[in-house]
């Protein structure tokens, strides 16, 4: 079994969904006005410390993590659904992700 103690990964949170452009139309309402809904919230990237893991070998084969985007809004002021969160499992004591080399990242416990 290979022991991997360093891994370079690329993460991207999900983008929010597009909003909807819609106007209210009813027979006896003279000026309906806008009633489009907002787009849903994109998914988050979460790292979870798991006691059963002791190596980062899983990140050797899966290096790109992209959370799904939120779904679009629709008419009648309906907000779109949010994207699901993406959970990455790491061993206990793994330093948190940091692109800046000057600061010391916190441990995940």
pLDDT confidence of residue 84? 93
CA dihedral 8, 59, 90, 92 (to 10 degrees): -70
* Residue 34 in this model has a pLDDT that exceeds 70: yes
pLDDT confidence of residue 6? 81
Degrees to nearest 5, angle at CA 47 with 51 and 70: 145
* Residue 104 in this model has a pLDDT that exceeds 80: no
Paired strand residues for 23: 34
């Amino acid at each position: 079994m290979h022991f991997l103690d360093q891994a370079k990964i690329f993460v991207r949170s999900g983008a929010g969904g597009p909003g909807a452009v819609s106007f209210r139309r009813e027979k006896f309402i003279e000026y309906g006005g806008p009633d489009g809904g907002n787009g849903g919230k994109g998914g988050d990237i979460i790292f979870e410390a798991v006691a059963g893991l002791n190596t980062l070998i899983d990140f050797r084969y899966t290096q790109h993590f992209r959370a799904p985007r939120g779904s679009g809004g629709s008419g009648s002021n309906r907000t779109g659904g949010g994207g699901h969160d993406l959970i990455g499992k790491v061993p206990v004591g793994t330093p948190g992700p940091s692109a800046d080399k000057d600061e010391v990242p916190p441990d995940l416990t």
